[in-house]
Amino acid sequence: MTDNKLSKDEKQAELTKYRDLVLATLDYYLDNKVMQIKTDDFDSTEHYKGLKKQTEEHYQKGRLTILKQWFRDLTEMQIETGDLKFNKYLQDKTKYDIDIFKSYFQHIDKVINKGKITTDNQFYDINIMVDQLCQTEPVDNKRIEILNRLLSEYEQPKTRKPTA
């Protein structure tokens, strides 16, 4: 992981940044009525409040990798749906110059440049990108073709395994 290469000050700055970003994301969910679910055995408001407490614990214990993964997981839906208001909300609330879509596109470009999908998370992200590209005008057929080839190559070894 790259966390080991950061100086103590850099790691602290990253910890603070990701704590702030995760907390702002959870606040976005708490403020957004569409995101709230309440059933007999689940209350999203309580769930998000619990996650905020856990975020502070991870911050206090210096768990940068967990905070980064939480931020990625929590922002997946906004990236998938192209919720541009969310990105503006994060910038206004945290004062960080962040573009969740930029890092997503950079992540996709890295996989394309490498010419190979190596993780299930990358596979999932590439799938989302193909769906987005198919719905965007003008359609970028060349990029879709490249991404579909990567998806296919990643799936091939999995489909060759004998079934029990």
Residues of the chain with pLDDT > 70, as a percent, come to 93
Residue 57, token pair as written in the block:
């614990």
| Sequence-distant (≥ 6) Cβ neighbours of residue 10 within 8 angstroms | none
What does the block give as tokens for 125?
């992200």
Q: What's the count of helices (H) and strands (E) in the chain, helices before strands?
A: 7, 0
Q: What is the structure's pLDDT at 159?
A: 67
Per-residue pLDDT, 160: 62
As a whole number of angstroms, the distance between CA 125 and CA 109 comes to: 11
Amino acid 103: pLDDT: 79
Per-residue confidence (pLDDT) for residue 163, from 0 to 100: 56
For the chain, how many residues are written?
164
Whole-number pLDDT of residue 74: 93
Pick the closest to residue 79 from 118, 125, 111 (CA basis). Answer: 125
Neighbours of 123 (CB within 10 A): 17
pLDDT score of 164 = 54
Can you tell me the distance from the alpha carbon of 113 to that of 100, in angstroms, rounded to the nearest whole number?
Answer: 20
Owner of token pair 């059933």:
39
Which pLDDT score is estimated for 128?
A: 83
Q: Would you state the pLDDT for residue 161?
A: 58
Contact 76, 44 (CB under 8 A): no
How many Cβ atoms are within 10 Å of 24's Cβ, its own excluded? Answer: 21
Q: Which residues of the chain have pLDDT under 50?
A: 1-3
